[in-house]
Structure 1
C-alpha cells in the first residue's frame, strides 16, 4: 500500500480515537461494555496531554508521510491538525478542559443510568 495512503489512514484512525476519547462515554450509555475501553482511552488521553508522552499513532503517521516523500508532521497530531484550526492556538488549555468536562459528564450520566438500571425490578 502506498505510504501516503497509509499516512492518511493513520491520521483518520487518530482523529477517530480522539473523538472516541471525547465522546465514547456517551456511547457506553447504550453499549455498557464500551465503558472499559473508554476509560482506557480517556486515561491515555489524560496522560498524553499532561505528561507529554507522544502517541504512537503520531509517530506512525509521521514515518509514513516521510516514506511518501512528504514533510512529515512538524509538530504533534493535535498541534498540526486541531490547534489553530478547531480552536484558537492560545486556547489549548481551555479546549483540554472542555474535553475533560465532556468525558466527566458522560461518565456521570453512565453512572446514573447504571444506578437506575440496577434499581429496576426484573420482569417475571
Structure 2
C-alpha cells in the first residue's frame, strides 16, 4: 500500500514538475528568486524533450509500482499519462520536438519580459 501511495505521489510530483517547466517562468515576473529554481528545471525539461533522455522519475515510479506488486509501464511519463488523454496516438520524435519548442517559446517570451522589467539604476555622478 505504501509503495503504491509513493508511486501515485511521485506521478503527481512529476506532473507538477512538467507544469513548472512550462509555466514556472511566470513566477519570476513576481519573484525574481524563482528563476534559480526554474532555470535548471527548464534546462532539464528541454533536454528531455529534444535529446529524448529518459526521466529518472519514470524509473522510480515503475520501481515503486513493481514493489507494490503492480505492473509498471513502458515509455515515459508523457507517453503513459498525458498523451493518452490528449491524443490517442503515441508520442513521436517530431511531436517531442514540437513540445520542446513550445516550452522554449513560452519561456523565451516570459524571460524577455523579466529582463525588460529589470530595474534600471541611474548612473550616479
Consecutive unaligned residues of structure 2, counting only runs of 5 or more, are none
Cα 1:88/1:8, change in 2 over 3 Å: same
1:60 paired with 2:60, answer yes
Q: Runs in 1 of length 4+ with deviation above 3 angstroms?
A: 90-96
Q: C-alpha displacement at 1:116, in angstroms?
A: 3.2
Aligned 8 A contact 1:21 1:103 in 2: no
Aligned equivalents of 2:91, 2:55: Cα separation in 1: 21
Consecutive unaligned residues of structure 1, counting only runs of 5 or more, are none
Q: Spell out the pairing of 1:38-53 with structure 2 (5 A cutoff).
A: 38-53=38-53
**Equivalent residue pairs, number:** 121
Superposition TM-score, scaled by structure 1 size: 0.79
Aligned 8 A contact 1:23 1:103 in 2: no
Q: C-alpha displacement at 1:76, in angstroms?
A: 1.5
Farther off after superposition, 16-25 or 91-100? 91-100
What do you get for the CA RMSD once the two structures are aligned? 2.4
Aligned match of 1:75:
75
Aligned match of 1:85:
85
Aligned match of 2:34:
34
Deviations 1:37-76 (A, max 9, x none): 2221121112112222211110110000011111112321
Q: C-alpha displacement at 1:88, in angstroms?
A: 4.5
Cα 1:45/1:72, change in 2 over 3 Å: same
Superposition TM-score, scaled by structure 2 size: 0.79
